[in-house]
Amino acid sequence: MLNIEENKVLAPYTSFNIGGLARYFIEVNDEHEAREAISWAKHKNLEILVIGQGSNMLLPDEDFSGLVIKNNIKGIKEESLDNNYIIIEAGSGEIWDDIVKYSVEKKYWGLENLSYIPGTIGAAPVQNIGAYGVELKDVFYSLRAINYDSLETEIFAKHECNFAYRSSIFKKQLKNKIFITSVSLQVSQEANPQLDYGSLHEVIKKDVYELEPSDISKAIVEIRKNKLPEPQEWGNSGSFFQNPEITKDHFEKLKAKYPDIKYYNLDNGLIKVPAGWLIETAGWKGKSLGKAGVWGKQALILINLGGASSKDIKKLAERIIEDVKEKFDIELTPEVNIY
Ligand code: FAD
Ligand code: NAP
């Protein structure tokens, strides 16, 4: 028997703490319940919105007329793939950082750079979460998902996921078409520290051969806690925009005007310019517009100053996009899923 609630306030289910009512709402605890809920919505011709921890979405102030499925599917198991690799399979409603802690405590390598990222493991493949030089795709093995049309379970191997920078087939072609029920990750027992990112190697004082995954994890948690707003205190969805990639010509013009510009050369010949640097240089760091603000320690993060609406955040985002376009001739693209 499905426990469907009506007219549920969605704001507390998102890290922005923003969102109107859901006409229908259900929490699912296993694959069977998820399939039943999807089938119920299909019969009523309702749109489906899946919420994990709501930490990468900006919901509208208006009510949502479909079914919101809050994912609580739990469970962790592991098996050896060979002498080195371990496969960790987790129910998609498991908290991502709990899986990182599980892996780090067992001294497995692979997840430590992705410590302290909010959200469920089920959402991690959607935007191919990334931080400190590692992306989900680097540890991804496969996932299981229910197809809304067929109600069948499908398995996606890595090569079928179209993983790219903060993107995947689940954020593009399969958006609102499947429900991810479990994710399998491939971690390693052999040491494989990734310290190339920024000043990570300076923060970690030990010699590389002495390192354990927990050393890297601890350092990253500390950096993140110092720099990023805790959503319980300041509603936010992490980086609001993607880092733009521009051509060498475009970059040279900007470099002539802004000699201190931050940049990273990419394998595809383009140049990545941190969106946070652009927004800060345009003068927005720490500024606000009504109840929406720009985080004072990282300008890429937009925050709910208290009681902000979706419109407030969108208005601030639009003003920033216009300003960055005018100053740098770069069009910022949101990373957050905006509904
Ligand atoms: P939600 O916000 O609930 O959902 C995101 C999208 O995925 C939605 O479109 C939703 O419908 C869909 N979805 C969710 N679950 C499923 C499912 N089971 N099946 C199908 N679709 C699903 N991201 C990074 O990449 N790197 C970071 O370092 C990082 N740092 C952050 C720091 C802060 C303070 C915050 C607030 C966010 C940060 N993020 C970061 C963004 C966010 O943590 C990730 O995108 C995370 O994976 C979102 O998980 P979630 O469960 O909250 O997803
Ligand atoms: P940061 O260290 O201040 O760096 C700013 C930007 O420079 C980052 O966006 C990063 O790109 C890029 N960068 C730094 N060193 C790099 C290197 N060696 N090679 C290539 N690019 C490099 O960033 P931060 O805000 O404190 O975040 C730290 C990490 O956590 C970043 O990886 C960031 O993506 C991640 N993070 C993500 C979110 C989110 O919501 N998506 C929120 C907070 C933090 P990349 O972003 O491509 O890594």
Q: Is 36 a catalytic residue?
A: no
Can you tell me the mean pLDDT for 290-312? 98
Q: What is the CATH number of the domain that holds 130?
A: 3.30.465.10
Environment class of residue 240 by beta-carbon count within 10 Å: exposed (0-12), middle (13-18) or buried (19+)?
A: buried
Can you tell me the mean pLDDT for 178-196? 96
Rounded CA separation 2/319 (Å): 44
Position 203 confidence tier, pLDDT thresholds 50, 70, 90: confident
Whole-number Å distance, alpha carbon 331 to ligand 2 midpoint, is 19
Nearest ligand for residue 114 CA: 1
Residue ending a domain, among 204, 226, 248, is 226
Q: What is the CATH number of the domain that holds 260?
A: 3.90.78.10
**Is 61's pLDDT higher than 80?**
yes
Q: Is 210 a catalytic residue?
A: no
Whole-number Å distance, alpha carbon 37 to ligand 2 midpoint, is 37
Q: Is 35 a catalytic residue?
A: no
Is residue 248 domain-shared with residue 297, that is, in the same domain? yes
Model confidence pLDDT, tens digit, residues 10-41: 999 999 999 999 999 999 999 999 999 999 99
Model confidence pLDDT, tens digit, residues 147-182: 999 999 999 999 999 999 999 999 999 999 999 999
Environment class of residue 288 by beta-carbon count within 10 Å: exposed (0-12), middle (13-18) or buried (19+)?
A: middle
Residue ending a domain, among 24, 45, 71, is 71
As given in the structure block, the two tokens for residue 32 are 């069977």
Counting the structural domains of the chain, the total is 3
Is residue 104 domain-shared with residue 175, that is, in the same domain? yes
Is residue 94 domain-shared with residue 203, that is, in the same domain? yes
Cβ contacts of residue 275 below 8 Å, gap of 6+? 239, 241, 242, 243, 244, 300, 324, 332
Is residue 65 domain-shared with residue 85, that is, in the same domain? no
Is residue 180 domain-shared with residue 243, that is, in the same domain? no
Is residue 235 domain-shared with residue 306, that is, in the same domain? yes
Is residue 234 domain-shared with residue 221, that is, in the same domain? no
As given in the structure block, the two tokens for residue 81 are 């793939």
Can you tell me the mean pLDDT for 316-333? 98
Is residue 113 domain-shared with residue 213, that is, in the same domain? yes
Rounded CA separation 332/339 (Å): 18
Position 331 confidence tier, pLDDT thresholds 50, 70, 90: very high
Give residue for tokens 């750079």: 113
pLDDT for res 201: 82
Is residue 87 domain-shared with residue 205, that is, in the same domain? yes
Q: What is the CATH number of the domain that holds 41?
A: 3.30.43.10
Is residue 145 domain-shared with residue 163, that is, in the same domain? yes
User: Could you tell me the residue range of the domain that residue 36 belongs to?
Assistant: 5-71
Model confidence pLDDT, tens digit, residues 269-299: 999 999 999 999 999 999 999 999 999 999 9
Pocket flag, ligand 1, residue 93 (CB < 6 Å): no
Can you tell me the mean pLDDT for 220-235? 96
